[in-house]
């Protein structure tokens, strides 16, 4: 895995937030990579390996995840707050151009950032998310997010994830589940394996409308002239097929790629996803 530098910035409410900065040539627009609700910067390791240093990547830990500080007020665990946090970082970085790459929640944040950053957007990659969230998927996530489970070993964690999400990644072997566990969990101070996020992120999400909080279609429509790659898991219950089809009609340069056999969300190491990312980035300077 490529080396990275740890980067930090401060939020409006003085939280110390973290990102991984993987180096790449200054001549190419970097990727700003934002993970899903319960995930962290490690989610983008497959893309780091794929690109092999050919493009700078900044992989974000949202507040309450990974190496970022936990919020004092759990009701700040909202997409609009994540977007405000990201706005500060983007201003600090002062990049000429960049690509927003968001998985699930990260894609929602990408859409929220669109109005003020459109002039600097070289492209957008949305991984299994759109302006409408499938109701069945939202309810499924509400059913498990924030449950403070712990596991005796990494193998126990891997087997628990396989049991809970086997229908999302039906082709995974134990090796893949173990890698998945190490991206989503951490070793706690008591020696147990726990999920690598603040359990309180579930509090606002469990409220009605907690997925985004605003109508995202007007924001999405502002991206109509921006190059866009939309990845959709074939069995996704978050980005429904009808929504994905509508998205492609709205954005002139959008390309929709279906990741076969996968639910929500593609883990970005699938052949379909990697080929699509590679081809898309060939068109981005």
pLDDT for 211 beyond 60: no
Q: Residue 194's closest CA among 244, 134, 153?
A: 153
pLDDT for 152 beyond 60: yes
The segment(s) of the chain belonging to CATH 3.40.50.1820 are: 5-145+201-282
In sequence order, what are the beta bridge partners of 251? none
pTM (two decimals)? 0.96
Please report where in the chains the tokens 């990845």 appear, as a residue: 231
pLDDT for 210 beyond 70: no
* Domain 5-145+201-282: CATH architecture, name and number where available: 3-Layer(aba) Sandwich (3.40)
Q: For the residues 240-256, what does the mean pLDDT come to?
A: 96
**pLDDT digit string (tens) for 33-88?**
999 999 999 999 999 999 999 999 999 999 999 999 999 999 999 999 999 999 99
pLDDT for 1 beyond 80: no
Q: Return the percentage of the chain with pLDDT > 70, whole number.
A: 97
**pLDDT digit string (tens) for 168-193?**
999 999 999 999 999 999 999 999 99
């Amino acid at each position: 895995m490529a080396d990275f530098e740890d980067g930090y910035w401060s939020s409006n409410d003085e939280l110390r937030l973290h990102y991984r900065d993987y180096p790449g040539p200054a001549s190419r627009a970097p990727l700003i990579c934002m993970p899903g609700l319960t995930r962290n910067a490690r989610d983008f390791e497959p893309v780091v390996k794929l690109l092999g240093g050919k493009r700078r990547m900044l992989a974000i830990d949202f507040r309450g995840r990974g190496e970022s500080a936990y919020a004092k007020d759990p009701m700040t665990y909202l997409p609009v707050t994540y977007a405000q946090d990201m706005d500060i970082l983007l201003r600090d970085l002062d990049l000429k151009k960049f690509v927003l790459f968001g998985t699930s929640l990260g894609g929602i944040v990408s859409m929220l950032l669109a109005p003020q950053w459109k002039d600097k957007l070289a492209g957008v990659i949305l991984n299994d998310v759109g302006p409408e969230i499938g109701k069945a998927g939202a309810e499924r996530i509400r059913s498990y997010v924030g449950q403070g489970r712990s596991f005796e070993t990494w193998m126990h964690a891997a087997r628990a994830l396989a049991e809970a999400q086997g229908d999302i990644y039906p082709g995974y072997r134990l090796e893949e589940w173990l890698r998945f566990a190490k991206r989503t969990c951490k070793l706690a101070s008591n020696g147990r394996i726990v999920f690598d996020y603040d359990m309180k992120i579930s509090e606002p999400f469990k409220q009605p409308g907690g997925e985004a909080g605003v109508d995202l279609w007007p924001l999405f429509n502002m991206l109509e002239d921006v190059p866009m790659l939309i990845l959709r898991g074939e069995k996704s219950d978050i980005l429904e097929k009808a929504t994905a089809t509508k998205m492609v009609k709205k954005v002139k340069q959008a390309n929709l790629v279906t990741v076969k056999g996968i639910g929500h969300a593609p883990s970005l190491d699938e052949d379909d996803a990697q080929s699509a990312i590679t081809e898309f980035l060939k068109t981005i300077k």
